Structure 1
Amino acid sequence: MLKEVSIDTLNLVCKFTKDQKEEMYNLIDFQKDYGEKYAFYWNGNKVYKHIIHSVKPFFMIFFEPRVGTGLWTRSHYDMLILLQREAIEDIPTLLKQVLEIGDWRVKRVDIAFDWSISINEHFMWKNGNVKKETIKENQNYYLYGERNSSRAVLYDKKQQLKSKKNIVIQDRYLTRLEIRVRPKLKDQPSILNMEWLKKHFDKFIFVEDASRLSRSLTKDEDKKAFRALRRNSSMDWSKYGGDSVKRRIRDQAKKNAVNLYGLFSGNSNFPL
């Protein structure tokens, strides 16, 4: 069962006109006291001239890449904003004002789907040109292509909260599927329309209940191959009926798959 859908991380960039840059500097007063939750760094770092940092909710604004170390960055955008979930769901006033200036584009977005299921219950189809990389133990893994701008990450969220943050939740199970998208520079879309995400979601075939998929297979050889596939996603199909069996299982997986974009568009926390 789906528990919730959220945007966990969002990175935005913008290339300003001369007038927009002047408007931005008129908006931000680096000498003003905005309260203890904000830190302003007029001298920035090696890459950016100025930085604003908010700890809670977490976001960072990086102003104007420097000519030296930030030369490549400067040729493509003048400002970078990093946001995490709390700042996305309840955008601070200062951040709203910044986002009203210029045409902001998505550099990276991580969408989290949290399921109240054991990590053993799901099934994800792995295409032949996609790599599967295990993350330590407990069946956590990445799915990605070498040149793809999107990847899937699946892990035991309950265990991760306990081991990394010492947070204990009451849910019996919590399995997270994250779709992480980093559009190529020439394809970076506007934040005003998130429909472009559909093509990235459609790359992944995620079945919430693998047992239901198994029951939908009508041939014994397909069931046998599916059991082997769950043990080893890189198995030799020639030992289990070849391409015809592979095709039938994939077709059933697609029929039983979750509509990820539908869930995202109906449940996401994206307010912009």
Structure 2
Amino acid sequence: MTKLKSKVKYKKEESCPLYKVKLCIDTFILVGKLTEEQQEELFDHFILLKREWYQDRYFHYSIRINNIVIKYSPRNLLAWNNYNTMIIIEKNTSITYIPHSVKEILKFNTWQIKRLDLAFDFSDGTPFSTFSNRLIMKHHGNVKLLQISKNDKDWNSEYVGTLKTRTESKACCYDRNKKEEDYGSGVEHEYPLRFEIRLFPKLNEFNYLNQIDHGWIENKLSKFIFITDIENLPLNKWDKRKLYKVQADYDYFKGIEPSKQKALKKVINSLRVPFEDIYSSRKDTLFLFLDLPPIHMNSQNQYYEQLTLNDFF
């Protein structure tokens, strides 16, 4: 049986290509159980926009301010037991301008994170097609390649893990430029490949906006395995061929003999993109766009931070 290369500290140029990666928040959803006094203050801030409030399927009152949506009074009684107000900051959250009225509401100490989409965007200065050798897995090997709509198929989307609503973490990898082309926006991204990890924290005493549980977030990020290029792994061609088969059919991995599975996992785990480390290096500035004093962040606000994967090996 062909052996893997010995376990040594691989040179950076051997183990990891010079891809650049950016991190930002794509979608951010907060919920809170506002007191009567806070509810009054909420409506006072938007009293001049009284006619702009509308009803939808899930809430009695909703209002949109640019790409920020505020919802009040959920129709579902079970939801009401946990929160009565929701704030949704939609796509490209990290570059969102937060109006003064919304900032004042965000100062309430009741807000909890219901959903946090962290977007890791990759580039090597070439089109998305250069990432065709990528490998996406979770440590236990659970990956589902689902195409739930025509758009997802067009964007070359891959979904990691289960899509059940109660799952605390899931991921999606897709071609950003293909998405823009489908929308007809005319935008072309320098960082075309997006690996988006969507987190759904539990609403408990450890989950508050003014004391974000970064450890929980980092733990969830560490569950995902993403290799930008199988060819750059320190493996022989036969083992790389196995990973290409896994890429095409994730059930193939289960059929590999256990000792070989363990050996392959050891290599890909050691050379995976360290999402948790990238997040850790950014966590002090990532939420500064909210401009919230309780978070106690003193660094200069930066919406994006450009890093190279070599910084983490």
Distance of aligned partners of 1:188 and 1:153 in 2 relative to their CA distance in 1, 3 Å threshold: farther
Q: Give runs of ≥4 in structure 1 deviating > 6 Å.
A: none
TM-score, with normalisation over the residues of structure 2?
0.71
What is the distance in 1 between the residues matched to 2:204 and 2:237? 48
- The superposition leaves residues 109-151 of structure 1 with CA deviations (integer Å, 9 ceiling, x where unpaired) of 1111111153314221243444332442564210113563211
Alignment of 1:150 with 2:159, yes or no, is: no
What is the distance in 2 between the residues matched to 1:79 and 1:39? 19
Bigger strand fraction: 1
What is the distance in 2 between the residues matched to 1:51 and 1:230? 43
Match of 1:197 in 2: 217
| Amino acid of the structure 2 residue aligned with 1:111 | L
Alignment of 1:13 with 2:31, yes or no, is: yes
Alignment of 1:83 with 2:89, yes or no, is: yes
Asked whether the 8 Å contact 1:10–1:109 carries over to 2, the reply is: yes
- The superposition leaves residues 163-203 of structure 1 with CA deviations (integer Å, 9 ceiling, x where unpaired) of 124323163x6111000112244587212324021121011
What is the distance in 2 between the residues matched to 1:88 and 1:94? 18
Gaps of 5+ in 2: 1-18, 291-313
Match of 2:16 in 1: none
Asked whether the 8 Å contact 2:231–2:240 carries over to 1, the reply is: no
Which one of the candidate residues 101, 107, 118 is aligned to 2:114?
107
Which one of the candidate residues 218, 242, 249 is aligned to 1:232?
249
Asked whether the 8 Å contact 1:7–1:110 carries over to 2, the reply is: yes
Match of 1:4 in 2: 22
What is the distance in 2 between the residues matched to 1:85 and 1:168? 15
Match of 2:188 in 1: 169
Distance of aligned partners of 1:245 and 1:81 in 2 relative to their CA distance in 1, 3 Å threshold: same
- The superposition leaves residues 71-126 of structure 1 with CA deviations (integer Å, 9 ceiling, x where unpaired) of 22211101111002455543221111001113211111111111115331422124
Match of 2:157 in 1: 140
Higher relative contact order (CA 8 A, sep 6+): 2
Gaps of 5+ in 1: none
- % identical aligned pairs: 25
Match of 1:52 in 2: 63
Which one of the candidate residues 55, 68, 71 is aligned to 1:62?
71
Distance of aligned partners of 1:243 and 1:201 in 2 relative to their CA distance in 1, 3 Å threshold: same
Asked whether the 8 Å contact 1:130–1:144 carries over to 2, the reply is: yes
Count of residue correspondences: 254
Q: Give the drift of 1:22.
A: 1.3
What is the distance in 2 between the residues matched to 1:27 and 1:237? 53
CA-atom RMSD, angstroms?
A: 2.8
What is the distance in 2 between the residues matched to 1:70 and 1:232? 40
Match of 1:33 in 2: 48
What is the distance in 2 between the residues matched to 1:170 and 1:137? 17
Which one of the candidate residues 89, 96, 99 is aligned to 1:92?
99
Asked whether the 8 Å contact 2:146–2:159 carries over to 1, the reply is: yes
| Amino acid of the structure 1 residue aligned with 2:26 | D
Distance of aligned partners of 1:187 and 1:157 in 2 relative to their CA distance in 1, 3 Å threshold: farther
Q: Give the drift of 1:258.
A: 1.2
Asked whether the 8 Å contact 1:39–1:52 carries over to 2, the reply is: no
Asked whether the 8 Å contact 1:10–1:108 carries over to 2, the reply is: yes
